[in-house]
């Protein structure tokens, strides 16, 4: 039986999270640590450890069947691959930044300006579409120092907290793209490999759903069951069990983690008590 070859970043911001995702999918690697490649003991998959820049090319050529990397690299490399799933980690922005003391007047500010970046293709395409002419200076790294040393008027780079910009006397002028880690795939997987990928995707979705959702239990007076059920629809509908105490029930359901703080006041106003919120290990819809 053939194995699905997955490329992940060898060392860097994506490595740990990529390995963690495989682990949460129940995939045990033979000896996970940083060889060129390793096999899973309990799933037909082989892991290749590569530089993230090389992953799109290897996946296009079929050296790897699938890969995990930032969307920013997928867009920049412009290889013929499919993006099959967003993974929800390594979130970052690609932004234009200018010296702090400059007055920013909108995108036309960049007319005829020199912009340093490691993402020349994405940037060129962006300004072409806006019909704005810029000069792009491609550099490999440490883009944030480019204005300070007189190499460029502005930069286009990954920004997460913005503290690197501040340290280099820059300010964010414009967020151009938002990126996160994604799973990409070769376009011509054979049936066997496609089936393994589908199985993996099924597990990834279960892991991601569980991360976003919490199990919620609470006690409520029977008179509030209908209203609480409307707030907590759950996967189908909430489970309602009678309590030993007359007139009260226990309601069990699922909530989105980011909605919990918005609905807690409503639940309390409806008389809910003893509210418990519990992590979910896996969730299959």
Pick 181 or 255: Cβ nearer Mg ion: 181
14 binds, among ligand ATP, Mg ion, none (CB under 5 to 8 A by kind): ligand ATP
Q: Which of 3, 51, 114, 121 touches ligand ATP (CB under 6 A)?
A: 51
Q: Check binding of 14 to ligand ATP (CB under 6 A).
A: yes
* Alpha-helical runs (H) found in the chain: 15-24, 55-61, 71-77, 120-129, 163-167, 191-212, 225-231, 260-269
Pick 43 or 58: Cβ nearer ligand ATP: 58
Pick 52 or 144: Cβ nearer Mg ion: 52
169 three-state secondary structure: coil
Q: Check binding of 67 to ligand ATP (CB under 6 A).
A: no
Q: How far apart are CA 78 and CA 206, in angstroms?
A: 30
Residue 185: which region, alpha, beta or left (left: phi > 0; alpha: psi -120 to 50)?
beta
Q: Check binding of 93 to ligand ATP (CB under 6 A).
A: no
Distance of closest approach, residue 77 Cβ to ligand ATP, in angstroms: 11
Counting residues that bind ligand ATP (by CB under 6 A) gives 15
Contacts of 161 (CB under 8 A, 6+ apart): none
Contacts of 136 (CB under 8 A, 6+ apart): 114, 115, 117, 120, 123, 124
Pick 120 or 169: Cβ nearer Mg ion: 120
- In this chain, which stretch among 22-30, 49-57, 241-249, 267-275 interacts with ligand ATP, using CB under 6 A? 49-57
């Amino acid at each position: 039986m053939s194995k699905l070859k997955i490329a992940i970043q060898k060392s860097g911001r994506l490595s740990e999270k990529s390995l963690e995702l495989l682990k949460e999918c129940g995939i045990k690697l033979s000896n996970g640590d940083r060889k060129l490649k390793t096999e899973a003991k309990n799933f037909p998959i082989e892991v290749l450890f590569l530089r993230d820049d090389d992953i799109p090319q290897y996946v296009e050529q079929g050296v790897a069947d699938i890969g995990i990397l930032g969307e920013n690299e997928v867009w920049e490399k412009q290889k013929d691959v499919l993006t099959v799933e967003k993974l929800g980690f390594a979130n970052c922005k690609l932004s234009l930044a200018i010296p702090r003391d400059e007055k920013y007047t909108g995108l036309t500010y960049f007319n005829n300006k020199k912009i340093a970046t490691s993402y020349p293709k994405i940037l060129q395409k962006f300004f072409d579409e806006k019909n704005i002419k810029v000069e792009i200076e491609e550099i490999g790294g440490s883009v944030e120092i480019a204005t300070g040393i007189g190499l460029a008027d502005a930069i286009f780079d990954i920004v997460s907290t913005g503290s690197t910009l501040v340290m280099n006397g820059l300010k964010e002028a414009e967020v151009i793209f938002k990126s996160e880690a994604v799973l990409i795939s070769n376009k011509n997987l054979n049936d066997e490999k496609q089936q393994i990928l589908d199985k993996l995707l099924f597990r990834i979705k279960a892991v991601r759903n569980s991360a976003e959702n919490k199990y919620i239990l609470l006690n409520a007076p029977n008179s509030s069951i209908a209203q609480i059920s409307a707030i907590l629809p759950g996967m189908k509908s909430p489970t309602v069990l009678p309590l030993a105490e007359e007139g009260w029930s226990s309601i069990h359901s699922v909530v989105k983690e980011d909605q919990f703080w918005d609905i807690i006041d409503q639940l309390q106003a409806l008389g809910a008590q003893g509210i418990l919120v519990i992590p979910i290990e896996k969730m299959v819809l």
